[in-house]
Copies of this chain bind each other. A is one copy, B any other.
Amino acid sequence: MILQLNMSSDTPIYMQLRNQIVMGIGSGELKTGEGLPSVRQLAVDIGINMMTVSKAYNILKNEGYIEIDRRHGAKVREDLDSNRKPTEKLEYGLSLLAAESKAKGMDKETFLKICEKTFNDINTQKLKEHRAC
């Protein structure tokens, strides 16, 4: 999986990493059970500090996306796709996006069409320049 970081972005590196990995999982590019590079390897590959990678991995672990084994490194959780409950984050994030869209006069059909199109085409590169949270 190709990771592209923007060092000039106002999104922190660890968050760019986190986002791109989430997108990779969502798009299917990263399969459940698939291993991620070691923190040292990834840090060297993209020219950043080991602890920055570790920070991204730990966020992903706490969010339930990956599991980390001291012996074998990090991998995408095997049971990841069995967790279908809508998260608070989804509800709250959607509330704000829906309010913004509605405020600007978008009708429901258009909004839902965009939601569907977005869900169908998860694009790993779409978040490069943008802040997630």
Contacts and interface: CB of A to CB of B under 8 A. Distances in A.
A101 B122 CA distance: 11
A112 B114 contact: no
A23 B81 contact: no
Given A95-B118, A127-B92, A86 B103 contact: no
A82 interface: yes
Contacts of A22: 96, 99-100, 103
A41 to B, nearest CB: 23
24 contacts: A25-B103, A26-B98, A64-B104, A65-B103, A80-B103, A80-B105, A81-B103, A83-B104, A83-B105, A84-B105, A84-B106, A84-B107, A89-B130, A90-B100, A93-B93, A94-B97, A95-B122, A97-B97, A98-B122, A108-B116, A108-B119, A111-B115, A115-B115, A133-B133
A122 B101 CA distance: 11
B99 A27 contact: yes
A40 interface: no
B25 A96 contact: no
Contacts of A84: 104-107, 110
Contacts of A98: 26, 115, 118-119, 122
